[in-house]
Amino acid sequence: MELRHFLGIDGGGSKCDAALIQEDGIVVGWGRSGATSYRPTDDSQSAVRQSVIEALGNATISELWVAHTWGDYGLQGWLCELGVPIAHLGRVQEWDIAYFSAAATWGLVVHAGTGSWVQCRTPDGRMPRIGGMGPFLGDEGGGWDLGFRGIKAALRSDWSHKTRTSLADEIPRAMGVPDLRGAVVGDPITSGKVTRAQIASIAPIVLEQAAAGDSIAMQVVDEAAESLADMCVILLEETKAIGQGYPLIGVAGVIQSSPFYWRVLQDKILLHDATLAPEVAPYKMAVGAAMLAMKDAGVAITEALRDRIVSSQAAYPFARVPTLAFQSST
């Protein structure tokens, strides 16, 4: 009997990931393309389709279950035109992916990708969530926030010896521009010519320089992490969860890709509740979406299957979760 296939699609502020998993838990395809959030519909549709085509590759599919985190952008009709036999296509929520990926039914989830949000689920069924308001109004402690703060710090580097930072050299180099001020100040930043994804792409530079000892970059990281930790504390206090030993589940690109940032962030949160049990979701969101599709199809999500997914996703660089190594060593 042919194995069924499960496709998870996660669109976001910086990229769109697609993961293809066989019924036996082997990840057999991965695709990555551009951002889908805050983009024109045609651009978002193109990004979704590009990542899906890459993930499907040359796989022979007899039955495909699809789960996505944003709009499907006409995905079902398009796949049918390609002759892909779809058994089911549905939307899943990022927070549901987070808890399922961690094999948890309650706890505190902190999400830091391009943007950010925090959700607390209690054993009695409460599920308050805050954040998720996008750039300028939100994105606290996410990639956009880190990048935006980093760009501001770089622009202020020549103000005095106290504001000197390596970001003034590293950020324009990463952006491929000779003059950072000319590239971002005024119309470029206010009109959106410098995109949310471009700003978020600076986050790894900020984290790298902070880890290397640049005091201004470290201040940027500290302030961004503090703003996200504050959101976590608000929900812990509102739900009266402090001291209850909840799982603290870190998810999304910035947390899953940077052990350094996760350490800074979790330490700030643990100052307010030392009983929390920190862990990083072992799968990227696209994999978690595919796993929820597997669950809906009646596949038994056993520990052995979870282990196969973790081991097989290592074949795809964008599917890896570097922070897991830090988690296992602490």
Q: What is the pLDDT of residues 148-202, one digit of tens each?
A: 999 999 999 999 999 999 999 999 999 999 999 988 888 888 877 888 889 999 9
The CA distance from 105 to 155, in Å, is: 44
Same domain, 15 and 130: no
pLDDT at residue 326 is higher than 90 = no
Mean pLDDT of 112-129: 94
Residues of the chain above pLDDT 70, percent: 97
pLDDT band of residue 329 (cuts 50, 70, 90) is low
Weakest mean pLDDT among 97-111, 124-138, 149-163, 257-271: 124-138
pLDDT at residue 120 is higher than 70 = yes
Same domain, 123 and 193: yes
Q: Which tens digit of pLDDT belongs to each residue from 56-87?
A: 998 899 999 999 987 666 888 888 888 889 99
For the chain, give the mean pLDDT. 92
For residue 16, CA distances in Å to 118, 241, 276 come to 21, 34, 31
Q: Which domain holds residue 304?
A: 5-98+282-329
Same domain, 131 and 202: yes
The CA distance from 294 to 305, in Å, is: 11
The CA distance from 153 to 164, in Å, is: 9
Output the six-digit token pair for 104: 């948890």
pLDDT of residue 327: 63
Same domain, 240 and 130: yes
DSSP H stretches of helix in the chain? 41-56, 75-81, 94-101, 143-155, 167-175, 180-184, 187-190, 196-200, 203-211, 215-238, 253-257, 259-270, 285-296, 303-313, 323-329
What angle separates helix 143-155 from helix 167-175, to the nearest 10 degrees?
120
Same domain, 218 and 302: no
The residues, ordered by sequence, that sit 6+ positions from 114 with a Cβ below 8 Å of its Cβ are 12, 13, 14, 35, 37, 139, 142, 143, 144, 196, 197, 200, 253
Bridge partners (DSSP) of residue 279 are 249
Write the CATH number for 193: 3.30.420.40
pLDDT band of residue 142 (cuts 50, 70, 90) is very high
Pairing relationship of beta strands 107-112 and 247-251 according to DSSP bridges: parallel
pLDDT at residue 330 is higher than 80 = no
Mean pLDDT of 298-303: 95
Same domain, 29 and 117: no
pLDDT of residue 83: 87
When divided into structural domains, the chain yields a total of 2
pLDDT of residue 328: 53
pLDDT band of residue 325 (cuts 50, 70, 90) is confident
pLDDT of residue 48: 86
Q: Which of 181, 166, 155 is nearest to 212 (CA)?
A: 166
Global pTM reads 0.90
The CA distance from 267 to 330, in Å, is: 13
Same domain, 123 and 217: yes
Q: Which of 197, 196, 203 is nearest to 257 (CA)?
A: 203
Same domain, 81 and 109: no
pLDDT of residue 133: 86
Q: Which tens digit of pLDDT belongs to each residue from 248-295?
A: 999 999 999 999 999 999 999 999 999 999 999 999 999 999 999 999
**Are 29 and 88 spatial neighbours (Cβ–Cβ below 8 Å)?**
no
Tally of CB atoms within 10 A around 285:
27
Same domain, 116 and 92: no
The CA distance from 294 to 64, in Å, is: 10
pLDDT of residue 187: 80
Same domain, 244 and 148: yes
The CA distance from 314 to 310, in Å, is: 7
Tally of CB atoms within 10 A around 121:
25
pLDDT of residue 137: 86
Mean pLDDT of 20-24: 97
Question: Which of 259, 280, 301 is the last residue before a domain boundary?
Answer: 280
Mean pLDDT of 26-52: 86
Same domain, 205 and 325: no
Residues of the chain above pLDDT 90, percent: 74
Question: Which of 241, 258, 280 is the last residue before a domain boundary?
Answer: 280
Pairing relationship of beta strands 27-33 and 277-280 according to DSSP bridges: unpaired
pLDDT at residue 41 is higher than 80 = no
Same domain, 231 and 267: yes
